[in-house]
Amino acid sequence: MTETSRVSALPVTRPPGCPFDPPAAYATLRATEPVVEVRCPTGIDAWLVTRYADVRAVLADRTMSSRGAASLHILPNAGRDPVQPGSVIQLDGKDHSRLRKMVIAEFTVRRVEAMRDYVQAVVDSHLDAMLAQPGSADLVRDFASPITLLMISELLGVPPGYRRQFQRMSTTLLSSDTTPAETQQATIGLLTYLAELFADKQINPQDDVFSRMIVRGEADNDPLTIAEMAMLALNLVVAGHEATANMIALSTLALLEHPAQRDVLLEAPQRAIDELLRYLSVVQFGVLRYATTDVLVGERMVKAGEWLVAALNSANHDEQVFPHADDMDLSRAASRSHVAFGFGAHKCLGEQFARVELQEALTLLFRRVPSLRLAVPREELEYKDNTLVYGVRRLPVAWDEPAEIPSGTTDPGELMPFPQADRLAADN
Ligand code: HEM
């Protein structure tokens, strides 16, 4: 970027009134300066790319590097060199595709569908526990956060007896209320635990994602090291938990604000979930890349070595692609082409799984608790304005008693594992 550049700040402020709208500056930028220089909160200067077509072009361009890039524009210590082996989100080229190929087999539509019954059971058991409380709860603490963490521990093959400990470590790692030292300690603790878990799976493979990756890697003579698996698993914890939990809580709030849309959700949940993903675009500051070669983006020549921010929320609110983009319309047909999961080589590996989690969490919640409502005035809610993933910090909710509670409440931490092997065999 040239010294004479006029650099303004990355837009971060949302308009007052509606907590779901992206910063108003994006609409102006898309119309007037769709590729513009900005200074990011961590001090790096980048080209901010705001139009849908340009965002997709940047993310599809194999000359754009993700190396160390995931969130360096927002988190000062994220993604510095050296990139750790196994950190799929930060790798490029062959290192990236080798890892991605190993994981992607576990996240196909078919595999994820085989997990649906388990997801339902986890959601139901947490609803049972929540509804057993006298009339109110924090939907983030009591529902969205624990169910998504439990799903991740199931994916990683954490044995039932260790899940509560795993949840405690992950919660500390992902909390925005902890000090950098506490976060570092939790990261080391979690990586050590995961390394021990995978070392055990190398000797005693079970019917879970990482055991199957170990077996496949050995069969292909390209095994993942323990350190790679631990870092990959940490990527899944960080990427998989935070965005999904925030989506569940924020979608609940949006649906409480737009009661008519709840019927649309219950009638056609698949389409509705994609519209919620588009409308809310919780990866609020987009994703970072740097150019490894001179490249034209829109009408701007970006030089090798310069940074770019692909503004996912701006792209998802581009009126050229999504008419009335700032309206939430759960019957919108074009929602599926959103970029809330990114695009191109690094497109979210867990997108199908996240869709199933969101479908089951939101439909079961509104079906079983039709009287759900906010327990505090909306003005009292606090939002995660400065974290990578947008959301609501707490969501106090209430309902009319007696709520419908199915019998046989299960301890959410002790549910049966995914019935994958049986289900997949039965499908064949
Ligand atoms: C609503 C929920 C989710 C949203 C909005 C979301 C969003 C994203 C986005 C935008 C990216 C692209 C990052 C980039 O281009 O630099 C990404 C990547 C990724 N996501 Fe998700 N994600 C969600 C859920 C999940 C879940 C449930 C998992 C795993 C269980 C997961 C695992 C990953 C991984 C491993 C990557 C890195 C892929 C790669 O670099 O090749 N995500 N996600």
Q: Is residue 336 part of a domain?
A: yes
CB atoms inside a 10 Å sphere around CB 296: 10
**CA distance linking residue 223 with residue 216, whole number of Å:** 8
Q: Is residue 317 part of a domain?
A: yes
Q: Is residue 202 part of a domain?
A: yes
Residue-level pLDDT at 306:
95
Q: How confident is the model at residue 272 (pLDDT cuts 50, 70, 90)?
A: very high
**CA distance linking residue 244 with residue 155, whole number of Å:** 14
Q: Is residue 12 part of a domain?
A: yes
Taking the centre of ligand 1 as the mean of its atom positions, its distance from the CA of residue 86, in whole angstroms, is 15
pTM for the model? 0.92
Residue-level pLDDT at 81:
58
Please compute the mean of the pLDDT values over residues 65-93 and round it to a whole number: 78
Across 61-70, 185-194, 202-211, 375-384, which has the greatest mean pLDDT? 375-384
Taking the centre of ligand 1 as the mean of its atom positions, its distance from the CA of residue 89, in whole angstroms, is 8
Residue-level pLDDT at 239:
84
**CA distance linking residue 278 with residue 223, whole number of Å:** 37
Q: Is residue 44 part of a domain?
A: yes
Q: How confident is the model at residue 425 (pLDDT cuts 50, 70, 90)?
A: very low
Q: Is residue 3 part of a domain?
A: no
* Beta carbons of 339 and 55 less than 8 angstroms apart: yes
Closest-lying ligand 1 atom to the alpha carbon of residue 241: 27
Taking the centre of ligand 1 as the mean of its atom positions, its distance from the CA of residue 313, in whole angstroms, is 15
Residue-level pLDDT at 69:
66
Check pLDDT > 80 for residue 2: no
Comparing 47-56, 96-105, 248-257, the range with the smallest average pLDDT is 96-105
User: What is the percent of the chain where pLDDT is above 70?
Assistant: 90
Q: Which residue minimizes the CA distance to atom 27 of ligand 1?
A: 240
Check pLDDT > 50 for residue 384: yes
The pLDDT tens digits for 325-344 are 999 999 998 778 999 999 99
- Domain encompassing residue 188: 8-427
**CA distance linking residue 183 with residue 177, whole number of Å:** 10
Taking the centre of ligand 1 as the mean of its atom positions, its distance from the CA of residue 402, in whole angstroms, is 38
Pocket test of ligand 1: the residue of 276, 348, 387, 418 to mutate, having most ligand atoms within 8 Å of its CB, is 348
Q: Which residue minimizes the CA distance to atom 12 of ligand 1?
A: 342
Q: Which residue minimizes the CA distance to atom 2 of ligand 1?
A: 244
Please give the tally of structural domains in the chain. 1
The pLDDT tens digits for 110-142 are 889 989 999 999 999 999 999 998 889 999 999
Taking the centre of ligand 1 as the mean of its atom positions, its distance from the CA of residue 261, in whole angstroms, is 26
Check pLDDT > 60 for residue 216: yes
The pLDDT tens digits for 344-357 are 999 999 999 999 99
User: Which residues have CB under 6 Å of ligand 1?
Assistant: 66, 70, 88-89, 100, 155, 235-236, 239-240, 243-244, 247, 282-283, 287, 312, 340-342, 346, 348-350, 353-354
Check pLDDT > 50 for residue 376: yes
Q: Is residue 312 part of a domain?
A: yes
Q: Is residue 74 part of a domain?
A: yes
The pLDDT tens digits for 83-102 are 788 889 989 999 999 999 88
Residue-level pLDDT at 287:
94
Residue-level pLDDT at 405:
54
Comparing 40-44, 196-200, 341-345, 401-405, the range with the smallest average pLDDT is 401-405
Taking the centre of ligand 1 as the mean of its atom positions, its distance from the CA of residue 199, in whole angstroms, is 26
Q: What is the CATH number of the domain that holds 210?
A: 1.10.630.10
**CA distance linking residue 283 with residue 334, whole number of Å:** 20
Please compute the mean of the pLDDT values over residues 233-248 and round it to a whole number: 91
Check pLDDT > 90 for residue 407: no
How high is the mean pLDDT of the chain? 88
